[in-house]
Amino acid sequence: MLEFFSSSVRIVNTKRSVEECLESALGNDTKSVDLLIYHATLGHDFNDILTKSKELYPNADVVAASCCGIVGKEGVSESMKDMALMAIKGKDYALAHVDGIFGYNSYQKALEIANSLKSKKSGINMIYFLASGIDINNTECIAAFESVFGENVTLFGATSSDNMKGVVSYQAVNDTVYENGAYAIGFCDPTLKVHTQATHGFLADGKPLIVTKSSGHIIKELNGKPAWSEYLKHLAVTENATCGDTIPIGALAEELSDDLMLEYGNSHILRVVTKHEGNDMYYATTCKENTKLWLTIRDEDLIFNEMTNMTDTLRSKIQNEEVVAVFHADCLARGRFLFNRIFKEELVAKMQNPFNNNNNECPPWLGMYGFGEFARLGGKNTYHNYTTALYVITRI
């Protein structure tokens, strides 16, 4: 039976950050931890995270990912020196990873991970997936996992990020740091289940752009014109703008069906552009030709209202089940690039407080600001952008 413990710190020295996280989460227990999951911002040395963790807990599996900020039970922070940890005791999990995952081979690489997980443990009923966020086709990743485990196994997690530049992100497993890697943790504790949901609170605006030429997750033309230039023109930014310039203001919206609109609290699902090569725009999912894409505007009232609706819905699903841990993925554009600190902390409080225990204490919590989020929508595993996505693990 799995047990969860979490902590977060803001310390410049990476090895000291690891020590503080472990001490805060686990106290004097130096033997029984089995799995350490870190999120850290780019001011940290990811090799030091691995080596220090292995020094202190040589028998534990260690994974880590870069992000633009963290959210723990202690609150939210988005400096260059943040670190958050979820420590897990128990053997009811399997770990698998790959290197060299990109958009063009996302299905094959995710399939490799899925088959590895299945070969290591039986009874996997939920999968935490963390992959590089800059060049990946998450539609294909989901399809690969479902080809092995079926659609009923919930995929949750995020894609790693940098400090909103879209240049490099890190994923680390045990003794190696990757720039284009992915790892997955398959949980097989039969006493646990996971409830997932996501919300964004942006509104589609104006007339849509039409994808007139695409290849997989790469958009080559919009409205019959070179995609990146046409995108920048409609954003009213200069031709020398970078992805980092466009991410806060450039969410693209795809229309949802009527039934999904009601569940999502919004008529559109959002997508982010994390990379471009010349005029080719790198999308986070498969984007077919003739897809309509709207530019968006954020609606702060809607963001806060939909957060309340989401937590109310999750609470109604959980009912009397015990919340043992919460994993959380948030879009980096919803952090300091979207709200000032007061609004950001208020939003985090609105997502955490509904899951506090009877002593009004936050459960073990591991959150990150990344490039994208996995959560179910319409009963299906789905990839989202620009959302808050919560993954509430309960004991039944």
Residue found under tokens 């590089």: 132
Taken as a whole, the chain contains a residue count of 396
Angle of CA points 53, 58, 62, to nearest 5°: 50
Q: Where are the domains of the chain?
A: 3-199+304-395, 202-298
Listed in sequence order, the DSSP H helices in 250-391 are 258-264, 300-318, 341-352
Structure tokens at 319: 């009912």
Q: Does this model's pTM top 0.75?
A: yes
Query: Which helix H or strand E contains 375, and what residues bound it?
Result: strand 372-377
Tell me the Ramachandran region of residue 158: left when phi exceeds 0, alpha when psi lies from -120 to 50, beta otherwise: beta
Q: What is the pLDDT along the chain (396 residues), one digit of tens a residue?
A: 999 999 999 999 999 999 999 999 999 876 789 999 999 999 999 999 999 999 999 999 999 999 999 999 999 998 899 999 999 999 999 999 999 999 999 999 999 999 999 999 999 999 999 999 999 999 999 999 999 999 999 999 999 999 878 889 999 999 999 999 999 999 999 999 999 999 999 999 999 999 999 999 999 999 999 999 999 999 999 999 998 889 888 999 999 999 999 899 999 999 999 899 999 999 999 999 999 999 999 888 898 899 999 999 999 999 989 999 999 999 877 765 555 555 778 888 999 999 999 889 999 999 999 999 999 999 999 999 999 999 999 999
CA end-to-end span of the chain = 12
